[in-house]
Amino acid sequence: MHAIDDAALRLPGAAWRITSSEVAALARVKRPVVTNWARRHPDFPAPIVYENGRPLFDGYEVTDWLLDTGRGNAGQDDLRAELTLHSLNAWRDTMPAAALVAALSALICLRQQLDRPAAEGTWQDALDRAAHLDTDDAFLLTELRAVPPELGPALAALADDLTDAAYNPAEAFEWVMDARRRLGAHDLAADSPAPALAKALARIAGVATLEAGGVVAVPHVRAGDLLAALHDEAAPESGHTFLAADADAGLARLTRRRMLVRGVYEFQLDVADGPDRSGMDLAVDDFGDPELLLCALPYEFAETRDPRTALERVQACTDLLANGSSAVILGPADALIDSLPQRGAADLLRRSFLTEGLLKAAVSLPEGALPYRPGYRTAIWVLSRTPRDERRGRVLLTDLSAQPLTASVLDDLAEDIAIWRGAGWTTDPRHEPRHGAVLHATVLAERPGAAFTPRHLSDADRYSRTVTERPARISELEVRLETLTEQARHDGDNRSLRTHATLRPEDKPARRTTVGHLLKSRRLRKLPGHRIAAAHLSSKGHYPVLGPDEVIGAAPIGARRIDREILFTAYEHAVFTEPGDIVVTANPRFGAIVDEEGLSVVVYPARVLRVRPEAVRPVQPRVLAALLRAAAAEHPRAAGAIRAPRRIEDFAILELEPEEAQRYEDLLTQIARRSAALREQTTILEDLTRLTAAGLQDGTLAIAPDPTSPHRRT
């Protein structure tokens, strides 16, 4: 165990030393932006010390400067919190990550419960207050007693600083939970769903519509992410009782603190630790049957995972449901969704959820639902116990396995489930589910081992605008293809292309120049690229963006754009390209293109070489771009090298006579025109292939006989 640096133990108001990279992370900007701030703004805080030649800044001074100037992309409410969370990194060599999170969360809980600063008085005073509050040592006393006494005061001050920066102690507690990954407390996050998914699961469970005073249960609660999501989604002042349990006593204590700091009273909370007689890890004897149950089944390695075991755990959950109660289960896809051996024990058990009318919806999820288990495929089951006379015998199957778990996709899923529930687990003629279909439960129950995934498009998808317009879209592409062919024939582009290249006569040796000389002789002008935040780029802006990806051909030109309002407000000094500008880049490799249309925004590290037409011997744009690419090919970057062997200014290129340069420019123009026409034809052919294949695959298109074909049957 290393001794902690004295600077890391100073109370709030003292200096936290942060590097330029950490300043950039604090302000949510790129690293070079901090260097520009320090160079251009005299009031930017000066470094307080240099460590191995690297400047270290006072974190509080930097935060104050960001707050005063409004610079950076971080919200003002987040800056102080981010700085305080960053300071936790200084403790990583002093306390184990899990112990640090446990102690800090306990101190925040102690402050919230007693409504007084945790650092008030001596460290022993804090321990005495904790012992008086937690007489049974159920949620925080053990964690605080484990803190070395010499570290306690500084850690308590840190907890107070974090709470003061937050809106309330509950928000400060969640900041600490968000920081567990960066601190290395991986055991506290390994089995937690992605935050967006946890929120969606709470919405799918329908806790927002649960009547006041309901009972909500979360077995296998782990660090309490799902329980916290349910509490966030529940109606204010709902007065629900929250039941939870986990086999790990430390995680159960953490969950108690997490709910207590949210204002859930002890008589509304029961978090058990260790298994009970039911094997569910959930004590329900004193609370009756829960109206709502949300559970993420424990993760098991693929080599030892048994679908039957997972389904038995689901069955144990449904045993707790009374009529009208529901459960949402997140579990392994190979047990809940994928095909199973026909008439095996797992298959029979899974189909029993259909025959008993319990399973209402099944959702396939993509990999990555659990960030720490990126290859773990999961699925969601929505179950509800309904009286026999109220069963509709239908199940909603949704396939999101190829969809990103974005907020919009998860919002659509939660809305589909809410409408499905609100309609009494039957179809609503006013709404058709996205990405799924409704089937009679008997269809699946009578197909042993069949996967619980939709096999065909829903009516909404079959008759959507995209599907019905496919034939018209295909016809438009065919007409456009014919037009391009006729245009090429009319323009003479079908004739043979001749470059008229010959060996250069020995009496006319080639003369060379450099880009640097062209710049000094004012035949070219160099313009820098702009630093544009990635968040400000989209596919629907007003102006195209040209960066390294577009220049080297890694991304299509026009795919990235920037909105007019954002450009003119956030980047008021940005300039547009002009027609004929050469956009070049040296990273990640050399590239040069000619911007034909202009009115584009060039993104650093790409830059612009602008031809000066008023020069005595003006440069031809296409000629210069072609010669630059050829010069770069003579000096490729070595494998593993960070920089190119030569600067663009040092590239030696051929100095053509004006007449020869014009001939070469005309040739390149002709090649570019033909290339553009061929690219458009290729794109049309690819679109035709894609559209017809998609229509045939989903059963919405058919190929009719060609009346002009000589092979047509008579």
pLDDT, position 493: 56
Same domain for 379 and 470, yes or no, is no
Q: Both tokens of residue 396?
A: 């909603």
Same domain for 557 and 611, yes or no, is yes
- Counting Cα atoms < 13 Å in the Cβ hemisphere of 291 gives 13
Same domain for 457 and 373, yes or no, is yes
Cα distance between the two ends of the chain: 89
The last residue of one of the domains, among 186, 221, 252, is 186
pLDDT, position 5: 37
- 707 belongs to a structural domain: no
Q: Look at phi and psi of residue 239 and say left if phi exceeds 0, alpha if psi is from -120 to 50, else beta.
A: left
Same domain for 619 and 679, yes or no, is no
Residue 604 CA, distance from chain mean position: 24
- 627 belongs to a structural domain: yes
Amino acid at the residue 367: E
- 708 belongs to a structural domain: no
pLDDT, position 606: 92
- Cα–Cα distance list, 361 to 312, 358, 414 (Å): 18, 9, 12
Question: pLDDT tens across 77-132, in order?
Answer: 677 667 666 767 667 778 899 999 999 999 999 999 999 999 999 999 999 999 99
pLDDT, position 260: 97
Q: Both tokens of residue 155?
A: 């850690």
Same domain for 649 and 681, yes or no, is no
DSSP state of 659: H
Rounded to whole angstroms, the Cα distance separating 309 from 355 reads 20
Same domain for 108 and 123, yes or no, is yes
Q: Both tokens of residue 630?
A: 């050829």
Main-chain dihedrals φ then ψ at residue 570, nearest 5 degrees? -85, -20
pLDDT, position 276: 52
- Return the sign of the alpha-carbon dihedral for residues 539, 545, 547, 550: positive
Tell how many helices (H) and how many strands (E) occur in the chain: 26, 22
Question: Position of tokens 């003479």?
Answer: 492
- 404 belongs to a structural domain: yes
Same domain for 555 and 676, yes or no, is no
- 568 belongs to a structural domain: yes
Rounded to whole angstroms, the Cα distance separating 679 from 484 reads 11
- 713 belongs to a structural domain: no
- Return the sign of the alpha-carbon dihedral for residues 529, 533, 534, 536: negative
Same domain for 286 and 427, yes or no, is yes
**CATH number for the domain including 522?**
3.90.220.20
Amino acid at the residue 484: L
- 364 belongs to a structural domain: yes
Same domain for 245 and 352, yes or no, is yes
Of the candidates 328, 334, 466, 304, the one whose C-alpha atom is nearest the C-alpha of residue 384 is 328
pTM of the model: 0.68
Which domain covers residue 475, as residue numbers? 464-496+657-702
Residues of the chain by 3-state class (helix, strand, coil), percent to 5: 45, 15, 40
- Cis (ω within 30 of 0) for the bond into 556? no
Question: pLDDT tens across 232-256, in order?
Answer: 999 988 999 999 989 899 999 999 9
- 625 belongs to a structural domain: yes
**CATH number for the domain including 434?**
3.40.50.150
* Residue count (the chain): 714
Number of independent structural domains in the chain: 4
Same domain for 36 and 152, yes or no, is yes
Same domain for 392 and 532, yes or no, is no
Beta strands (DSSP E) in 27-148 are 49-51, 54-58
Same domain for 381 and 309, yes or no, is yes
Rounded to whole angstroms, the Cα distance separating 456 from 409 reads 20
- Return the sign of the alpha-carbon dihedral for residues 72, 74, 75, 78: negative
Q: Both tokens of residue 327?
A: 């459960």
Q: Both tokens of residue 558?
A: 């026009």
Burial class (CB in 10 A: 0-12, 13-18, 19+), 298: middle
Judge contact between 104 and 157, C-beta under 8 A.
no
Q: Which residues of the chain have pLDDT under 50?
A: 1-15, 277-279, 281-282, 284, 287, 457, 459-463, 714
Amino acid at the residue 603: V
